[in-house]
Structure 1
Amino acid sequence: MNNAIGSFFTSAVLDSTSRITNIDGGYICLDKNELPFDIPDEVKSRVALALCQREWCRYPSAGGEEVEHLIGEWLDMPGDCVVAAPGAAQIIVSLLSYFALSGRPITIAQPSYSLFNYYCKTYGINYRRWMLTTQLEYDLDSFPDQSPGSVYPPQQPHLFISSPC
């Protein structure tokens, strides 16, 4: 087994054959980016204190530009290269709305968020799956043919690589 994968995922996650897995008597949904453990109390306390020190009479920015900028600084990259949202679902829906309107096809690395499949079918988006190996690695030999006329129309297809884990 790949050491990087083995050190990142618990054996319960690696051995799972379902998107819902029982870990230590509790269940996590692997396709919803849930953690198998709770956030430490120290982190919760720091967040609560920061919230108490802010004004509550104003709406927060809906776009998240301040958070994106701070994350960009932390990553040493421009803030406009970062997209922050209250969850993956909002980003997935926004991206797929663009592809639905543009008629452009996509390839989606799998396994991934179940919303990709649902919204591609809902919006009528031409897409193909690129399955990872059983070791959750990318296999270029199994990458779907992207050439015009293969399955896709002549437009340039796009690829989504995302990880709900």
Structure 2
Amino acid sequence: MSSPLFSSKLRKTRSYSNSGSTNLKTLLNKNEQSCDTSPKVKRAVLESLKSRSWNRYPEAESSLLNELVAAYAGVAADQIALGAGAASLLGNLLNYFAINGWQIIFPEPSYAYFNHHCKAYNIPYVSWVLDGELQYDIENLPELTEKTVLFIVSPNNPVGNTIPEDKLRFLLKKYPKTRIILDAVYQEYGKNNFTPLINEYENLLVLRSFSKAFPAAGLRLGYLCGQARVISQYKKLVLPYSINHFSQSYAIKLLSTPDFLETELLNIEKTMVLRTQLYNKLLNEFNASQLRVFPSEGNFLLIQFASKGYFNDVTIELDKCNIEVLNTSNHKKLEYSIRVSIGSENEMKLFYQCIKQTFKNGTNDDH
């Protein structure tokens, strides 16, 4: 028998998916927005889409879309590169640096795609493990060299922690030859916007997305920000025509409609209020012998239960309540934990009542 086409490491790697169940009514597992794009905007997008020639490839680089995205991000049009989702941009970067022999460092626990992609492509990497409070600690940072690329996620999924600006600036200044790539797809929900720092530091790239702050996860559009001469080189790694007609029509409509943008900014503020409310309720209702909820600057909260029994009982109860959350227990340091997306006010009430009812019923913390 001939050798298998794919390596044993790839065959052992689980598929990267978080599809959830279509039978569950309350989906709080993917950090999507709960409310869909309005019918008015959808109709306008469809009209725009109908006017395009579907038999032709989309524009390789849409100048209008580039300008609109750049204006939204507060950078120049030649300082961004578009991609079919932030993960595709990350994949390009990981592959390029790995092929060229760079040391790759990323935080743990953090975005599961890093670990998955590196295992699937047999890419060696080093972990920057968060401290006991799940914060970035420079004392724990592996040694950086002139051929190191350091990925930092801030706000960090699934934890919700961020890197302080003074620490980020310290790293950028001390290691000017090290490439630092900041995954900031949850930036709109945090306190800091680090994108303008690209004008100060050539070794900084900032990754952004439309999947979290807008009701546009189906849009599949991400963008990378950096100094113009760095971005011009990165664009050589991108497949042409990767932003399809639908994505271009959708994004152009969203970004050129002031009312839509104003509404979404209000929705972001509402999400942040609901996040704080849920955090405070969990903090005040439960003690450390039951669960721990972590502060977050994303559109989600991480909850870690004190025992396997509590974790099992809560996940069973959530299933009974038709609520889907993300099980994050396979992450380093996150045993018996879940990540819940911040949804609508009613969804947050339902989630909280479900957690509260589980402990009210009594849990078996021995199993």
Amino acid in structure 1 at the alignment position of 2:123: G
Alignment-derived partner of residue 25 in structure 2 = 25
Higher Cα Rg, which structure? 2
Corresponding residue SS for 1:36: coil
Per-residue deviation, 1:63: 4.7
User: In 2, are the aligned partners of 1:107 and 1:158 still within 8 Å (CA)?
Assistant: yes
Distance 2:34 2:138 in 1: 31
User: In 1, are the aligned partners of 2:97 and 2:149 still within 8 Å (CA)?
Assistant: no
Alignment-derived partner of residue 73 in structure 1 = 71
Percent same amino acid among aligned pairs?
Answer: 22
Corresponding residue SS for 1:84: strand
1:93 aligns with 2:79: no
1:1-165 equivalences under 5 Å are 25-30=25-30, 34-63=32-61, 66-109=64-107, 110-112=109-111, 114-121=112-119, 122-131=121-130, 139-141=135-137, 144-148=140-144, 155-161=147-153, 162=183, 163=185
> Which structure 2 segments of 5+ residues have no match?
1-17, 154-182, 187-211, 213-367
Bigger RCO (CA 8 Å, 6+ sep): 2
Per-residue deviation, 1:67: 2.2
Q: State the aligned residue count.
A: 136
Cα separation, partners in 2 of 1:90 and 1:141, compared to 1, 3 Å: closer
Distance 2:45 2:142 in 1: 45
Amino acid in structure 2 at the alignment position of 1:160: I
Cα separation, partners in 2 of 1:41 and 1:100, compared to 1, 3 Å: same
User: In 2, are the aligned partners of 1:108 and 1:129 still within 8 Å (CA)?
Assistant: yes
Corresponding residue SS for 1:159: strand
Comparing 138-147 and 35-44, the one that deviates more: 138-147
Distance 1:62 1:132 in 2: 43
Corresponding residue SS for 1:120: helix
TM-score, normalised relative to structure 2:
0.31
> Which structure 1 segments of 5+ residues have no match?
1-18
Distance 1:25 1:132 in 2: 36
User: In 2, are the aligned partners of 1:108 and 1:128 still within 8 Å (CA)?
Assistant: yes
Per-residue deviation, 1:96: 0.8
Per-residue deviation, 1:82: 1.9
Cα separation, partners in 2 of 1:41 and 1:131, compared to 1, 3 Å: farther
Alignment-derived partner of residue 16 in structure 1 = none
Structural RMSD (CA)? 3.4
Distance 1:130 1:64 in 2: 40
TM-score, normalised relative to structure 1:
0.61
Cα separation, partners in 2 of 1:82 and 1:52, compared to 1, 3 Å: same
Per-residue deviation, 1:39: 1.8
